[in-house]
Amino acid sequence: MKNSILLSLLLATLSMSAAARAAGDATAGEAVYNKACKMCHVSGMMGAPKTDDKAAWAPRLAQGEAVLVQHAIEGFGKMPPKGNCKTCSDDDVANAVAYLLNQAQQP
């Protein structure tokens, strides 16, 4: 019983950490985007969705920010983990994703 309570608390803590990380700060993310993401997401290099391509971002937005942050951190398709940004923390990546999503939803 005691072990199951500890396990439940651990899982709840991990879930909260992932949720908190998924909710990035778009303002802080702009600098990370400019440093590490812009090259591929402006040109569409290696199939990256262009920052201003609303149609390309629509199905990604439907997946939710947490999934996109996980993909960005772990790598997805041709995108390497953290977009190959060796100095980016997980929070930096979450912020960059928040910035990209914010840009994708601009009118």
> How does pLDDT run across 55-74, given as a tens digit for each residue?
999 999 999 999 999 999 99
In this prediction, residue 1 carries a pLDDT of: 58
How distant is the alpha carbon of residue 50 from its chain centre?
15
In this prediction, residue 107 carries a pLDDT of: 81
> How does pLDDT run across 1-57, given as a tens digit for each residue?
555 444 344 444 444 444 444 568 989 999 999 999 999 999 999 999 999 999 999
Task: Note the pTM of the prediction, 2 decimals.
Answer: 0.77
Q: Mapped to the 3 state alphabet, what secondary structure does 14-62 carry?
A: HHHHHHHHHCCCHHHHHHHHHHHHHHHHHHCHHHCCCCCCHHHHHHHHH
The Cα 81–Cα 64 span in angstroms is: 19
In this prediction, residue 22 carries a pLDDT of: 54
